[in-house]
């Protein structure tokens, strides 16, 4: 029998090298596409190539190279699609923000750099994703503190009717964005511990075998967090997002449809109460049903977004050639409509496909992992990305009532961008850990095989 070099190091190195090479290819492709779009945006405006094309490309490439090198060093076995799609989405978003509002673009560039640092930091400090379990109560408390921070007089700030912002000195941010990660970590670790108990039925109610009532406690707590967000901060988007996170993780962990149905029941109840309580919610639904009758009022954003997307058609007006700036919040909530106008159905589909690939890569990591916590956490995090994308794109396309929330990676917004970079760092970590363990397992099997 010839001996093949099957040491873990070598196989791992080879796999890592392949994956990083693929990743490099993906980000090179994305970088070229983004630079080309940037040049086109400038041509669309002034029929001149941008003066700062070289620094721009250097900046984009520089940041992605830093991300790439950090993965090479800290998580070489991670799925290359994760960084590839993130580069594409962030870059596309950045060019779009640049085209819409140059002032914000400078800030967005800064946030990209901060996000890169946060990404590398997360990868560096979180050596193993499962270690996060240990700090679950710290994360839970942090999450709750972050959630109530905007309510604290002095630092909390109301912007556009929602009290989501905290201003400390010159820096203002939305702590709620970061909560989705801390809550995902807490909920995942909590459920991993309790899921056996929660999925078992101990008492019978008619034909249904119910788990112990005490296990409903956390469900009610999560429901409470969601609705506190809705009632106190008036942020329907984040509320729905947290709720989707809880419910999906509960179901993935326990496999019991009981939890989602109960939660859905509570959600509908909560929304009905909110419906009675808040005029703005009723207005939202009215606008959703018929934005055209209030085209100069509450339906203005939606109607203009539809005009823009319709005018974009299949291929778009061309970047820099549209007029999306009249939509209020076009850089944040409505950036998808701007993309629809200037890049057409191709552009909007590109966003959806990139996001879908990202979700797929995250789920692949979840499925590859043998650790239930990591599995659950990865599933929760990608669900957040998917649902968040659906809430805003579905809102703009009128599949859902509109709620303001960022399009992950694409919209302008520091809190959102940095949070999502950290989120991806965690997925990269989980993906790497899962591959590494799988390699070890394979090695053990093959070495067992050879000894027998």
Partner 1 sequence: MNNMNGRSRAMGAMVLAMFIAVFVQLNVIQVARSDELANDPRNPRQIEASFNEPRGSIVTIDGVVIANSVPSEGRYTTQRVYPQGSLYGHITGYVSIVYGTAGAEQSFNDLLSAQTTSADTLGSLFADRTLVGDVTLTIDSRVQQVAAEQLAGRRGSVVALNPQTGAILAMYSNPTFDPNTLGSQDQTAVRAAWAALNDDPLNPLLARSFREVYSPGSTFKVVTAAAAYEQRPDLVDKAYPQLSVLDLPNTSSDLPNFGGSTCGGSLTELLRVSCNTGFGQMGIDLGPQALVTQSELFGFNSEPPIDLPSAASSAFSPVSAFDQDIPALAQSAIGQRDVRATPLQMALIAAGIANNGVIMKPHVLAEACDTTGALLRQYAPSAWRTAMSTANSGALTNDMIGVVVRGTATRAAIPGVTVAAKTGTAQTFGNSANAWLISFAPAENPTVAIAVIIEDQEGLGDITGGRYAAPVAKAVMEAALSAQSIP
Q: Which residues pair with 168 in a beta bridge?
A: 171
Instruction: Choose which of 359, 417, 423, 427 interacts with partner 1 (CB under 8 A).
Output: 359
User: Which has the closest alpha carbon to 355: 322, 379, 380, 390?
Assistant: 390
Q: Which is nearer to partner 1, 78 or 382 (CB)?
A: 382
x/- letters, 301..320, toward partner 1 (CB under 8 A): ---x-xxxxxxxxx------
Smallest gap from Cβ 360 to partner 1, in A, equals 6
- Contact by Cβ (8 Å): 58, 34: no
Q: Which is nearer to partner 1, 67 or 339 (CB)?
A: 339
Question: Using the rule CB under 8 A, which residue among 101, 107, 283, 323 binds partner 1?
Answer: 323
- Rule CB under 8 A: say whether 187 interacts with partner 1: no
Give the footprint of partner 1 on residues 423-442 (CB under 8 A): none
**Quick one: tokens of 23?**
């990743």
Q: Which of residues 231-290 bind partner 1 (CB under 8 A)?
A: 248, 251-253, 255
Nearest approach in angstroms of CB 33 to partner 1 is 19
Residue 401 makes contact with partner 1 by CB under 8 A: no
Q: How many CB atoms lie within 10 A of CB 17?
A: 12
End-to-end CA distance of the chain: 13
Considering only 114, 121, 397, 437, the residue that binds partner 1 (CB under 8 A) is: 397
> Does residue 185 belong to the site contacting partner 1 (CB under 8 A)?
no
Q: Does 342 bind partner 1 (CB under 8 A)?
A: no
Alpha-carbon separation of residue 406 from 129, 330, 385 (angstroms): 26, 11, 10
Site of tokens 């991993």? 192
Report the distance separating Cα 422 and Cα 408, nearest Å.
12
Q: What length is written for the chain?
A: 452
Contact residues for 383 (Cβ-Cβ < 8 A; gap 6+): 244, 245, 248, 249
CA-CA-CA-CA dihedral for 300, 303, 305, 309, to nearest 10: -160
DSSP SS3 for 156: strand
Using DSSP's 3-state secondary structure scheme, residue 85 falls into: helix
How many positions of this chain bind partner 1 (CB under 8 A)? 52
Query: Among residues 144, 345, 350, 439, which is the contact residue for partner 1, using CB under 8 A?
Result: 345
Region 124-153 residues binding partner 1, contact defined as CB under 8 A: none
Chain positions contacting partner 1, by CB under 8 A: 43, 47, 248, 251-253, 255, 295, 304, 306-314, 322-323, 326, 340-341, 344-345, 348-349, 352, 355-356, 359-360, 363, 366-367, 370, 372, 375-376, 378-379, 382-383, 386-387, 389-390, 393-394, 397-399
């Amino acid at each position: 029998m010839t001996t093949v070099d099957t040491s873990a190091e070598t196989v791992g190195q080879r796999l890592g090298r392949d994956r990083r090479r693929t990743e490099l290819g993906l980000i090179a492709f994305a970088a070229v596409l983004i630079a080309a779009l940037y040049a086109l945006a400038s041509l669309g405006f002034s029929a001149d190539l941008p003066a700062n094309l070289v620094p721009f490309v250097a900046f984009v490439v520089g940041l992605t190279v830093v991300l790439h090198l950090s993965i090479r060093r800290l998580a070489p076995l991670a799925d290359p699609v994760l960084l590839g799609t993130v580069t594409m989405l962030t870059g596309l978003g950045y060019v779009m923000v640049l085209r819409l509002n140059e002032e914000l673009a400078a800030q967005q560039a800064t946030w990209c750099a901060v996000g890169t640092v946060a990404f590398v930091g997360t990868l560096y400090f979180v050596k193993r994703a499962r270690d996060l379990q240990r700090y679950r109560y710290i994360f839970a408390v942090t999450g709750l503190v972050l959630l109530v921070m905007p309510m604290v007089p002095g630092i909390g700030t109301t912007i556009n009717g929602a009290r989501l912002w905290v201003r400390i000195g010159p820096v203002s941010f939305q702590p709620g964005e970061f909560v989705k990660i801390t809550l995902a970590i807490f909920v995942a670790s909590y459920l991993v511990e309790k899921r056996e108990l929660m999925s078992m039925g101990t008492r019978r109610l008619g034909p249904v075998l119910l788990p112990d009532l005490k296990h409903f406690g956390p469900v009610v707590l999560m429901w409470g967090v969601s609705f506190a967000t809705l009632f106190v901060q008036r942020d329907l988007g984040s509320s729905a997002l947290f709720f989707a996170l809880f419910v999906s993780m509960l179901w993935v962990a326990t496999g019991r449809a009981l939890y989602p149905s109960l939660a859905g029941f509570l959600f509908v109840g909560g929304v009905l109460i909110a419906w009675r309580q808040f005029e703005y919610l009723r207005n939202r639904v009215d606008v959703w049903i018929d934005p055209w009758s209030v085209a100069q009022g509450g339906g203005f954003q939606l109607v203009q977004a539809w005009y823009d997307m319709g005018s974009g058609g299949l291929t778009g007006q061309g970047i820099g050639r549209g007029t999306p700036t009249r939509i209020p919040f076009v850089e944040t909530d409505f950036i998808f409509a701007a993309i629809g106008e200037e890049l057409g159905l191709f552009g909007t589909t590109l966003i959806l496909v990139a996001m879908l690939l990202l979700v797929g890569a995250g789920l692949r990591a979840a499925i590859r992992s043998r650790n239930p916590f990591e599995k659950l956490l990865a599933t929760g995090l990608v669900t957040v990305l998917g649902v968040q994308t659906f809430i805003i794109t579905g809102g703009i396309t009128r599949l859902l009532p509109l709620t303001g929330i960022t399009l992950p990676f694409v919209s302008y917004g520091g809190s959102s961008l940095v949070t999502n970079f950290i989120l991806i760092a965690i997925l990269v970590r989980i993906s790497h850990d899962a591959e590494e363990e799988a390699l070890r397992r394979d090695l053990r099997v093959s070495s067992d095989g050879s000894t027998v």
